[in-house]
Structure 1
Amino acid sequence: MDQKRFNEGLEVRRAVLGAEYVDKSINNATDFNRPMQELVTEYCWGEIWTRPGLSRKTRSFINLAMLTALNRPHEIKLHVRGAINNGLTKEEIQEVFLQTAIYCGVPAAIDSFRVAQEVFNEIEKENASK
């Protein structure tokens, strides 16, 4: 493992997904899934998300569309929150899912809308309790 790339990836991963979520994922890793946590942190976040060619906001747009196409609701939920952290608005997220309805299928987009609404509701509750 490239420790420098891992550390850079960990920094970006925490900034996008939230330190609490990322630290929990890393700290709760088992001997079985720790290699996957390391791989994702080093290569996904350390190698790709740190590249200068696209902004984090643009990467979030792309991720939401791809995750909808792949019908990955758990990852969509995580990346909706990350997209908000990267500056996307609800309206922009809505537009991503409307676009995916045409190119990826209505059922996949409906699931993404449903999951995104769950995240928006959670964020509203969190903000109300502050």
Structure 2
Amino acid sequence: MVLKDELYTAGIEQRRHMFGQAGAEDQTDHTTPLNDKIQDFVTRYCFGDIWQRPELSKSDRSKVTFAMLVATGKPHETRIHARGALANGVSALELREIAVHAALYCGIPTAVEALQALDEVFTEKGVTLEPLAESAGEAR
């Protein structure tokens, strides 16, 4: 039995906002003895505590999280958090720029993998980047 205190409630609401029911209740209500502790930890402390801190906006937290997942080579979580970032108001163009920026600091293969993840998520969500706004402010 999971204790549904204030942290848990805030965490499940944050997960639902970012990932829908599939990333919230479908994860937490269908745990096993193998993954029950990690799901509780993620809900309560990751999304119920850290994601609720007011010092960074939700969109800024999403940008930072996406960048860290790209940098550490976590493609599955990169895809999940690309979806969450879109839900938190991060634009497709901002996500693309984070992936491109990763080429400088993490290497081209890392950036390519991040762009492949974004391509999958953008296709799934019906998101397009046309026309692309470049740094000079001109559309392609």
- TM-score (norm. length: structure 1): 0.90
TM superposition shift of 1:116: 0.9
Aligned residues: 125
Q: Highest relative contact order (Cα 8 Å, sep 6+), 1 or 2?
A: 1
Rg (Cα) greater in structure: 2
Larger relative helix fraction: 1
Aligned to 2:111: 109
**Structure 2, gaps ≥5 residues long:** 128-140
Alignment match of 1:74 (pick from 73, 76, 97): 76
Q: Deviations over 1:61-114 (max 9, x none)?
A: 101110011100110100011111011111111111111111112111110100
**Aligned pairs for 1:49-128 within 5 A:** 49-124=51-126
Measure, in 1, the Cα distance between the counterparts of 2:73 and 2:109. Answer: 9
Letter in 2 for 1:100: A
Aligned to 1:7: 9
Residues 2 and 22 of structure 1: CA distance in aligned 2, closer, same or farther (over 3 Å): closer
Measure, in 2, the Cα distance between the counterparts of 1:28 and 1:105. Answer: 38
% identical aligned pairs = 37
Measure, in 2, the Cα distance between the counterparts of 1:23 and 1:43. Answer: 16
- TM-score (norm. length: structure 2): 0.84
Letter in 1 for 2:32: T
CA RMSD of aligned residues (A): 1.5
TM superposition shift of 1:19: 2.3
Letter in 2 for 1:76: T
Aligned to 2:18: 16
**Structure 1, gaps ≥5 residues long:** 126-130
TM superposition shift of 1:21: 2.5
TM superposition shift of 1:47: 1.0
**Moved >4 Å (runs of 4+):** none
Q: Deviations over 1:21-50 (max 9, x none)?
A: 322111221011111000011110011000
Letter in 1 for 2:62: S
TM superposition shift of 1:2: 7.3
Whether contact under 8 Å (2:15, 2:23) holds in the other structure is no
